A and B are shown apart, each in its own frame.
Chain A
Amino acid sequence: MNKFILSKKLYRNDLATFYSFLIGFLIAIIVGSIILLIQSKNPFDVFSLMLKLSIGSVNSLSNSLNKAIPLILAGLGISIINSVKLWNIGAEGQIFFGAIALNFVYINTSIENSYLYIFLLLASGFIGGSVCILLPALSKVLFGVNEIITTLLTNYIVFGLTIYLINGVWKDPNSLNFPAAAYVSESVYLPTLFGKLSSGFLICILFTLIAYYIKDKSVFGYEMRIAGGSAQTAIYAGISAKQKAFTAMLIGGGFAGLAGAIELLSQTHRVSTGISQGFGYTAIIVAAITGMRPLGIFLVGSLFGALAIGGSVIQTIGVSSYISEIIQATTLFGALISQFFFSYEIKRVEDD
C-alpha cells in the first residue's frame, strides 16, 4: 500500500518566496475582483484606474514611492529584529515616537546650516525609535518578557502620548482647534527630487543597502543568525544571545523611528495623528511576505505604497479605499499559504 506524506523541503529559496508572493498577489486580485463585482463595479476599470493613478505619471509615481518610504524602513527594522527570531509589532509606535523625538529636538535646538539641522533631526528620529523599543528590549533580555506583547502595547502608550502632546503642551494655537503640533520651519523640509518624490527615498535606498549588509554580510548579522537558531550554540560559540537581541531591537526600532522622522520632514511637517496611517502594521505584512529579505522588502514596500495611493484615489469613483487594504492582507494570506506549498512537497512512501 502506498501512503502520501508531507515532507519538508531542504530550504526555501529566494525564487520560491518570489513565486509565493506572485501567487498571493494573484489570489488577492481575484478576491478583490469578486468584491468589486458584488458591488457591481467592473474590476478591470477599477484596477486600471488604480494603476494609472498610482504609477501612471511622474506625480502619481512619486506619491506612491513617498508612501512606500515608511513601509520599507519599518519593514527593514522588523526584518533585522527577526534575525534573532523576535517579532517587532511596535513599528507603528516607533514611527510616532521618532516624530515626537524629532519635534522635541527641533523645539530645543537651532542650527543655522539647514542640511546639518536636517541630519540632526533625522538622527533624533532614529534614536527616538530606539528609545521607544528600549523598554520591550530590556524586559526581553532581563526578564524574558514576550516581545510581541510588549512592543504591541507600546503602540498604545505612544499613541496616547501623541494625543496628549498635540492636545496639550505642543498644541499649535494657530491650528484652529485641530489637534496638532506647530509646523516645523520650511528650511528643514526634506528637498524633493523630481515630481513630488521626497529625498527621503534616497535615504530609504541607502538604509535598504545597510539592512542588507547588516543581515547578510556582517559579522553581527552572522552572530544574530546563530543566536536566533540556538541559544546553546551561541553560548558555545562565545556569542551573547541577549546582547545580540538587545542590539537588534534597538537598530530595528531606529529604522522605524527614522521612518517617522522622514514622514514628518517630508509629508506632514508637524506632529499629528497623521504621521502614520498604520504603516507600522502594514510593514509587518511587507516583511512577512518577503521572508524578511531586505531587497524584497524594498520591492514589495514600493508595490504596497502604490496600492495605498491607488486605493485612496478610487474613492473618487465611489469605490471604498478598503479595497487596497483587502488586497494587501489577502496577498499576505495567499503568500503565506503558498509558501507552505513551496516549503513542503508531497512524497509517496511505501507502507510496510
Chain B
Amino acid sequence: MKNPILEAKGISKSFGSIKALDDVDFFLEKGKIHGLLGENGAGKSSLMNILSGIYVPEKGTLTISGHLIKRLNPDLASSYGIGMVHQEFRLIDSFSIKDNLTLSKSNIYQNNFNDAFSKYSDIFALNLNAMTPVSELSVGEKQKVEIMKLIFNNSSIMLLDEPTAVLTPQETIQLKVSLETLSQEDEKTIVLITHKLKEIKDFTEIIYVMKNGKMVAKELDTKTVSDTQLIELMMGEVKTSIFNKNNFKGDIKLEARDISFTNEQNIKTLQNVSLEIKSGEVLGIAGVSGNGQVELANIICGIIKDFEGKVIVKTTDVSGKGVKSRKKLNVSYIPENRLGVGLAPGVSVLDNSAIKEYFQASFGPHLSKNVLLNSLNDLINKFSIKAPDVKAEISTLSGGNMQKLLMGRELISNPDVIIAAQPTRGLDVSAVNSIHNLIIDQRDKGSAILLISEDLDELFKLSDRLLVMYEGKVVTEIETELATVENIGLAMAGINE
C-alpha cells in the first residue's frame, strides 16, 4: 500500500453470542474509491460503525493518518475526517439545504458557503436553491445533500452505506461520476458499501470482501478480479446437503402465472414471473435482495393486489383478493422483516401469537385471554420457545425465540402453502438448525414451500428446485442436484453464461 490513510488491524466485535466481526483487517488508500462487498449480515455495517466511532471493538488497532487511536468516539472520528452516510438519511427535513450543510460545528464553509455550494452542486448535478427545505427534495437529491454534508464537514474519508439502494439507474450513473470527481480532484478517500456486484465493479478501484464477519479478501484490484471470483468469495463454500431429498411430491398447491408488477415509483419490479410448487416440495428462490423477491412474496400472500397475472392456491384463483383469502386456504407467510411486519412491536407476546388465526372459529366468537393463552402455551411447548413473560412486549424475546414464535404461529396449523423469506437471517447456528428442521418437517408433512433466501448454503440444503431472480425476472430455473454454486452465483449477479 502506497499511501495508507487508515489502517484497521485485527478488529473483533461480538453482539451477545454472535461474532459480528472476527479479526478483520481493513486498509484505505488516500484518494481511492474502495468497495466493501458482502451479503446482508456479513459485518459490513458493523465495521463501518467501528470506523466512525459508534461501536467500540473488543480487539484490534486503528491507525488514522499515522496516529494510533486508543478509543475512537464519533466526535474524534469526525475530527480525523471520517464521515458516514447511513442508509437512513440523517437530515433535518424542515431545515433548508444550507442549514443542513452548515449544521455541524466541524463545517468549514460557513463564510464562503455560496462558492462551495455552487462548486459541489456542479459536481453532484444538483440544481437546487440552497434555501430549499430538505422536505421538498426527492430521495436522490437528499442522498446528494447527505454526501455533500460530509464534504462541508471536512471529511476526507467518506463511508457510504448502500448509497445506490434508493437511486434510479440514471442517478446511480450520476453518483459514479460525482464520486470519481471527488476522489480525483479533492483526493477524497471513499468507501462504497454494497452487495451489488455490478456496482462494485463499476465504481471502485480496490475491493474488500466480507463473509460471516470475516474479511475473506483484501485489496483486490478491481481491474483484474473476475465476477466469478467475487461471487465465490461472497457466497463462500457451500456444504453438501444433509437432508434427504427423496421426498414424495404430490399435486401442485401453489401456482403463480405471468406475474408482473410496477411499484409506486413506477419501477417495474417484477416481469412475467411464473412458478409452481407441488405438495411436499421446497422451491428455493435465489437472488441478491432487492431483485423483486419481497414483491413476489407480497403478491402471493395478498398484500399487494394491483399486479398483473394470476395466483392460484390449490385450485382456487385468489388474484385480486386480500390476505384473508389466503389464510382461509391455509397459506402461511414468514416475512423477511420479523419485528415490524411479522410481529408487531410494542404489542404483547400473547397478542402476537394469534396474528395468523385470530379470526378463525377455533378462537371462538370472543377472543378471551384464556383462549389466546392456551394456544400460545401450545406453541411454546411444541416449538420450545423461551418467553420470560407472555404479557410482556414481543421485543423482550431474543431474535431466535421471536423467529421460533413466528414460525410456530405460521406452521402449527400444518399449512398447505408456506412462503418463507430469509427465515434464518441474523440467527445463530443452533437457531438456524432448528428452523431448517422445521421447514423440512413441514415439507414431509406435505406443504408446498417457497423459500426465499440470499444464503446459498441454505438454498442448496433445503430446496428441491432453484429459481434465480435478477431485476424482477426469473433468469434460471434448475433442479438443485444439477445446480452448482458458480452458475447460481453468476445468475444472481445477472451474468449469463
Residues of A within 8 A of B (CB): 10-11, 13, 213, 216-219, 221-223, 225-226, 228-230, 232-238
Instruction: Give the docked Cα–Cα distance between A228 and B352 (Å).
Output: 12
Q: How near does chain A come to B464, taking the closest CB pair, in angstroms?
A: 27
Q: How near does chain A come to B362, taking the closest CB pair, in angstroms?
A: 13
**Which B residues are CB-close (under 8 A) to A218?**
366-367
Q: Can you sample 21 A-B contacts with CB below 8 Å?
A: A11-B391, A13-B391, A213-B366, A218-B366, A219-B359, A221-B367, A222-B351, A226-B347, A226-B351, A228-B347, A229-B347, A229-B351, A230-B345, A230-B347, A232-B340, A233-B343, A234-B344, A236-B333, A237-B355, A237-B356, A238-B327
Pick from B340, B354, B367, B388: contact of A233, CB below 8 A: B340
Given A226-B344, A236-B341, are A10 and B327 also a contact pair (CB < 8 Å)?
Answer: no
Q: Are A217 and B367 in contact (CB under 8 A)?
A: yes
Q: Are B367 and A232 in contact (CB under 8 A)?
A: no
Q: Which of A13, A225, A228 has the most CB of B within 10 A?
A: A225
User: Apart from A10-B393, A229-B344, what are 19 other A-B pairs with CB-CB below 8 Å?
Assistant: A11-B389, A13-B391, A217-B368, A219-B358, A225-B351, A226-B344, A228-B347, A229-B345, A229-B346, A230-B341, A230-B346, A233-B342, A233-B343, A233-B344, A233-B355, A236-B323, A237-B323, A238-B302, A238-B322
**Which A residues are CB-close (under 8 A) to B355?**
226, 233, 236-237
**Which B residues are CB-close (under 8 A) to A229?**
344-347, 351
Which residue of chain A has its CB nearest to the CB of B303? A235
Residues of B within 8 A of A (CB): 302-303, 322-324, 327, 333, 335, 337, 340-348, 351, 354-356, 358-359, 363, 365-369, 388-389, 391-393, 396
**Which A residues are CB-close (under 8 A) to B327?**
238
Give the dominant DSSP class at A's interface.
Answer: helix
Which residue of chain A has its CB nearest to the CB of B58? A352
Instruction: Give the docked Cα–Cα distance between A228 and B346 (Å).
Output: 9
Give the number of A-B contacts (CB < 8 Å): 77
Q: How near does chain B come to A159, taking the closest CB pair, in angstroms?
A: 33
Instruction: Give the docked Cα–Cα distance between A213 and B367 (Å).
Output: 10
**Which A residues are CB-close (under 8 A) to B341?**
230, 232-233, 236
**Which A residues are CB-close (under 8 A) to B340?**
230, 232-233
Q: How near does chain B come to A337, taking the closest CB pair, in angstroms?
A: 22
Which residue of chain A has its CB nearest to the CB of B323? A238
Q: Are B302 and A222 in contact (CB under 8 A)?
A: no
Instruction: Give the docked Cα–Cα distance between A249 and B363 (Å).
Output: 26
Q: Are B333 and A11 in contact (CB under 8 A)?
A: no
Instruction: Give the docked Cα–Cα distance between A235 and B324 (Å).
Output: 11
Q: Are A219 and B367 in contact (CB under 8 A)?
A: yes
Instruction: Give the docked Cα–Cα distance between A223 and B367 (Å).
Output: 11
Closest 9 CB pairs of A and B: A238-B323, A229-B344, A10-B392, A229-B347, A233-B344, A230-B344, A11-B392, A238-B324, A237-B355
Q: Are B347 and A236 in contact (CB under 8 A)?
A: no
**Which A residues are CB-close (under 8 A) to B354?**
222
Pick from B333, B337, B369: contact of A216, CB below 8 A: B369
**Which B residues are CB-close (under 8 A) to A13?**
391
Which residue of chain A has its CB nearest to the CB of B301? A236
**Which B residues are CB-close (under 8 A) to A225?**
347, 351
Instruction: Give the docked Cα–Cα distance between A10 and B343 (Å).
Output: 17
Q: How near does chain B come to A101, taking the closest CB pair, in angstroms?
A: 31
Given A222-B351, A229-B346, A233-B341, are A10 and B367 also a contact pair (CB < 8 Å)?
Answer: no
Instruction: Give the docked Cα–Cα distance between A293 and B126 (Å).
Output: 53
Which residue of chain B has its CB nearest to the CB of A221? B367
Q: How near does chain B come to A32, taking the closest CB pair, in angstroms?
A: 35
Which residue of chain B has its CB nearest to the CB of A85? B346
Q: How near does chain A come to B387, taking the closest CB pair, in angstroms?
A: 10
Q: Which of A223, A225, A229 has the most CB of B within 10 A?
A: A229
Pick from B303, B348, B351: contact of A236, CB below 8 A: B303
Which residue of chain B has its CB nearest to the CB of A11? B392
Instruction: Give the docked Cα–Cα distance between A228 and B365 (Å).
Output: 22
Instruction: Give the docked Cα–Cα distance between A2 and B365 (Å).
Output: 53
Q: How near does chain A come to B88, taking the closest CB pair, in angstroms?
A: 16
Instruction: Give the docked Cα–Cα distance between A236 and B365 (Å).
Output: 22
**Which B residues are CB-close (under 8 A) to A216?**
369
Q: How near does chain A come to B188, taking the closest CB pair, in angstroms?
A: 35
**Which B residues are CB-close (under 8 A) to A234?**
344
**Which B residues are CB-close (under 8 A) to A217?**
366-368
Instruction: Give the docked Cα–Cα distance between A284 and B306 (Å).
Output: 42
Instruction: Give the docked Cα–Cα distance between A234 and B346 (Å).
Output: 13
Q: How near does chain A come to B26, taking the closest CB pair, in angstroms?
A: 23
Which residue of chain A has its CB nearest to the CB of B368? A217
**Which A residues are CB-close (under 8 A) to B369?**
216
Q: How near does chain B come to A36, taking the closest CB pair, in angstroms?
A: 41
Instruction: Give the docked Cα–Cα distance between A234 and B322 (Å).
Output: 12
Instruction: Give the docked Cα–Cα distance between A223 and B351 (Å).
Output: 10
Q: How near does chain A come to B189, taking the closest CB pair, in angstroms?
A: 31
Q: How near does chain A come to B395, taking the closest CB pair, in angstroms?
A: 10
Instruction: Give the docked Cα–Cα distance between A213 and B368 (Å).
Output: 9
Q: Are A236 and B322 in contact (CB under 8 A)?
A: no
Q: How near does chain B come to A285, taking the closest CB pair, in angstroms?
A: 24
Instruction: Give the docked Cα–Cα distance between A218 and B363 (Å).
Output: 11
Q: How near does chain B come to A263, taking the closest CB pair, in angstroms?
A: 32
Q: How near does chain A come to B307, taking the closest CB pair, in angstroms?
A: 16
Q: Are A236 and B335 in contact (CB under 8 A)?
A: yes
**Which A residues are CB-close (under 8 A) to B358?**
219, 222-223, 237
**Which B residues are CB-close (under 8 A) to A226?**
344, 347, 351, 355
Q: Are A232 and B337 in contact (CB under 8 A)?
A: yes
**Which B residues are CB-close (under 8 A) to A232?**
337, 340-341
Instruction: Give the docked Cα–Cα distance between A2 and B27 (Å).
Output: 36
Instruction: Give the docked Cα–Cα distance between A233 and B392 (Å).
Output: 18
**Which B residues are CB-close (under 8 A) to A213?**
366
